[in-house]
Amino acid sequence: MLSPPSYISNLVVHKTFRFISTAAGTFNITPANLCSLMVIGTTTNTSATMLFERVRLRRVEMWAAPSTAALGVPVQISVAWSGTGGGTQGNDQIHSDTSIGLTRVAHVRAQPSVGTQTSQWSNGDSTGTGVNVLFTLVVVVGTVIDVTVDLACTNDIRVTNNTVALTTVVLSQLYYLALNNTGTNTLVPDASLITTT
């Protein structure tokens, strides 16, 4: 008979999250942003607790909304792997695409280079330790953004709570937050998910 392993395996979730941009702009995404994508209500109408503490970015894929301006007006989106902070750097490689008119939308699908900080496990707790910015997005209104990540819990399942201040929180309810959830909340989750501000 086989004996159980002598180690404790961390819970790791592999998931693709989808977001839609409600505003154009440049957005820096941190490990804390990614670890806060799924939270659970812990104090009614006050706060939620982050479920994950570590994150590894797999890829980002984006589709721009078709241009509503006159033909010939370009629409550009991009993702840049910065991986800044903690004495380590990403390779600053920028992936971008530009579309003109209504017949073709800009599309970017990119993954961080092997060996760069952006491709490694990062600490995503609310103290902001570790990598400061994993990647930077440039989007237009209506851009669809898919972010594929591995998220991990430590074996203490957050003995020290990392909370996110929210309103209208129901105790023990699972919530999906915006990709830029520590900022202006303009990269919002799919409308079919339970979300809060």
Is 194 within the bounds of a domain?
Answer: no
Domain count, the chain: 1
Q: Which CATH number is 70's domain given? A: 2.60.120
Is residue 49 pLDDT above 60, yes or no? yes
Is 197 within the bounds of a domain?
Answer: no
Is 128 within the bounds of a domain?
Answer: yes
Is residue 87 pLDDT above 90, yes or no? no
Q: Which residue has the higher pLDDT, 154 or 123?
A: 123
Is 112 within the bounds of a domain?
Answer: yes
Is 193 within the bounds of a domain?
Answer: no
Contacts of 137 (CB under 8 A, 6+ apart): 26, 27, 29, 60, 62, 77, 78, 79, 145, 187
Ranges 35-49, 85-99, 138-152, most confident: 138-152
* Helix (H/G/I), strand (E/B), else coil: 31: helix
Domain that holds residue 165: 13-188
Q: What is the pLDDT of residue 94?
A: 85
What integer best gives the mean pLDDT of the chain? 80
Contacts of 104 (CB under 8 A, 6+ apart): none
What's the whole-number mean pLDDT along residues 95-121? Answer: 83
Is 178 within the bounds of a domain?
Answer: yes
Q: Which residue, among 124, 153, 147, 135, has the nearest Cα to 31 in the 3D structure? A: 124
Q: What is the pLDDT of residue 27?
A: 94
Q: What is the pLDDT of residue 75?
A: 84
Assess contact for 15 and 148: CB atoms under 8 A: yes
Is 3 within the bounds of a domain?
Answer: no
Is 4 within the bounds of a domain?
Answer: no
